[in-house]
Structure 1
Amino acid sequence: MTLLAGRVALITGASGGIGRGIALRFAQEGAAVALHCRTGEAAARALAREIGERAVVLPGADLTVEDDCRNVVTQAAEWGGGRLDALVNSAGVQPVQPLPQMTAADWRAVVDTNLTSVFACTQAAAEAMREHGGTITHIASVEAGSPAPGHAHYSAAKAAVVMHARAAAQEYGAFGIRVNTVSPGLIDREGLAEAWPEGVRRWRQAVAVRRLGRPEDVGDACVFLASPLASWITGHDLVVDGGVSARPTW
């Protein structure tokens, strides 16, 4: 399948589990992928070797810094021969901190990484896409609408990410730029069941399809939104949670 043949895509946070899954699916669908990472360079380079010549690693950019966001977008576009067709804002952090003990510095660290980076990368990418159009997809979360204890900063940031995409869809639509979000549920990763057995057990009981999500599930959603199949979809939040949000709460 080549839904994204000839496209150039930048995936932020590509060394993490979800970012890696997105990058692999984009490459499998024919895209050339620029893999941003801040600290996981070894993992990103291993991923690039797996993909082959249609991948490049762009390490080191701190996406809480506006200039770094602009620089990584510029690097991706230059590597892509002067164009950038797709951006997936996947980089993020998810610490657990009780709200009563949370400091303003704790709050800012999560908001800047999960939200401010999305604003700055999107603004830079939209400038690069202005002449030929493109797609921008933010990775939000089901916690944007259903916050978990200890995740006040994370949930607030992800809710804002969803609203940013809706606002950006309006303002960039005239340039042929579509902006959407994907909101995953619980995505499996190595060691998760051992680190959080009770949470995994509760999720499996609640989710309609009786399994945790996989990185490629999120990747599939991102591929769809970046492809011609979604040419009339913008400002939309695509929930990818195995049906857990359809569960009755009473």
Structure 2
Amino acid sequence: MTPPPHPSPHPSPRLLDGQVALVTGAGGGIGRGIALRLAEEGAAVAVHCRTAVESAREVAERIRGRGGSATVLRADLTDEEACRRLVGEAADWGGGRLTALVNNAGVQPLRELPDMTAAEWRAVVDTNVTGVFACTQAAAEVMRAQDGGGTVTHIASIEAGAPAHAHYSASKAAVVMHARSAALEYGPWGVRVNSVSPGLIDREGLTDAWPEGVRRWRRAAPTGRLGRPEDVGDACVFLASRLASWATGHDLVVDGGVTARPSW
């Protein structure tokens, strides 16, 4: 009888071993799922927040508790200089390196177009688009100067328009187009830029707050369920890893198959 093979003394390397990542808006929800998945695959993670400091600290502590490396950084992403400082602080913490940026931070207020003010429009665009632009620009400069370049992943959305969501939907469409343009211009620098468009992601209290919407989603999704934050995190791990080394300028839809269903 042939004995079983001896286990390898060295486990297989994780997908992101040696990487240093910055995840914006990582204090909760999707951002938490992204940060945890990047850390599970070996990345040291800078956990960004604006006001959710305690939540961000909990994420960082959870990463450290699993043997990973994490720090918490604060910044207002509507401020261009704050974005640059944030990226610089993340790179300094990473020993001068930043290999992955995930632009997840965003806001999603509700306001119907007839009542929307320009200030309300700008508040969404400044966070969801301008912050993405400024963080990406700063990160690309760091990645250009290091061996191996780096990756940038924007979190967009499959939402193509809904009542009271015009500013949000427009901002997420802009994020997808920014990723495509940035892929073209930063590609020669060794920087890949992609976006991830999630569908409806579950969160605490969602079913109680929007029962009919959740029922409609589950009926429409071939997979029969809502998304989980880690589903988005898995997509970000893939795009930041060597497995996606020839993928750039792409929008990866993670929606359980909802957009594959005919609307007629």
Q: Which band: TM-score by shorter chain?
A: over 0.9
- Equivalent residues in 2 for 1:194-205, closer than 5 Å: 194-205=208-219
Gaps of 5+ in 2: 1-12
Q: Distance in 1 between matches of 2:22 and 2:175?
A: 18
In the TM superposition, residue 114 of structure 1 has moved relative to its aligned partner by 0.5
Partner of 1:189: 203
The Cα of 1:180 is off from its aligned counterpart by 0.1
- 1:16, distance to aligned residue in structure 2 (A): 2.1
Give me the TM-score of the superposition, normalised by structure 2.
Answer: 0.92
Q: Which amino acid aligns with 1:139?
A: I
SS at match of 1:2: coil
CA RMSD of aligned residues (A): 0.8
State the identity %: 74
Corresponding residue number in structure 2 for 1:248: 262
Matched, 1:173 2:195: no
The SS at the match of 2:262 is coil
Q: Does 1:67 align with 2:81?
A: yes
The one-letter amino acid paired with 2:52 is G
- AA at the equivalent of 1:166: R
Q: Following the alignment from structure 2 to structure 1, what is the Cα–Cα distance between the partners of residues 245 and 137?
A: 21
The residue aligned with 2:69 is 54
Q: Which residue of 2 aligns with 1:4?
A: 16
Q: Would you identify which runs of 4 or more consecutive aligned residues in structure 1 move more than 3 Å?
A: none
**Distance in structure 2 (CA, Å) of the matches to 1:34 and 1:6:** 14
Structure 1: which 5+ runs fail to align?
Answer: none
Q: Tell me which residue corresponds to 1:115.
A: 129
| Residue of structure 1 equivalent to 2:48 | 36
- Secondary structure of residue in 2 paired with 1:178: strand
- The CA distance in 2 between the partners of 1:200 and 1:93, in whole Å, is 21
Deviations 1:210-249 (A, max 9, x none): 1000000000000000000000000000000000001111
**1: distance between equivalents of 2:194 and 2:98?**
17
Query: Deviation of residue 99 (structure 1)?
Result: 1.0
1:89 aligns with 2:99: no
TM-score by length of 1: 0.97
> Which residue of 1 is the match for residue 151 of structure 2?
135
Alignment-mate amino acid for residue 165 of structure 2? H
Deviation at 1:196, TM superposition (A): 1.1
Among candidates 205, 227, 232, match of residue 241 of structure 2? 227
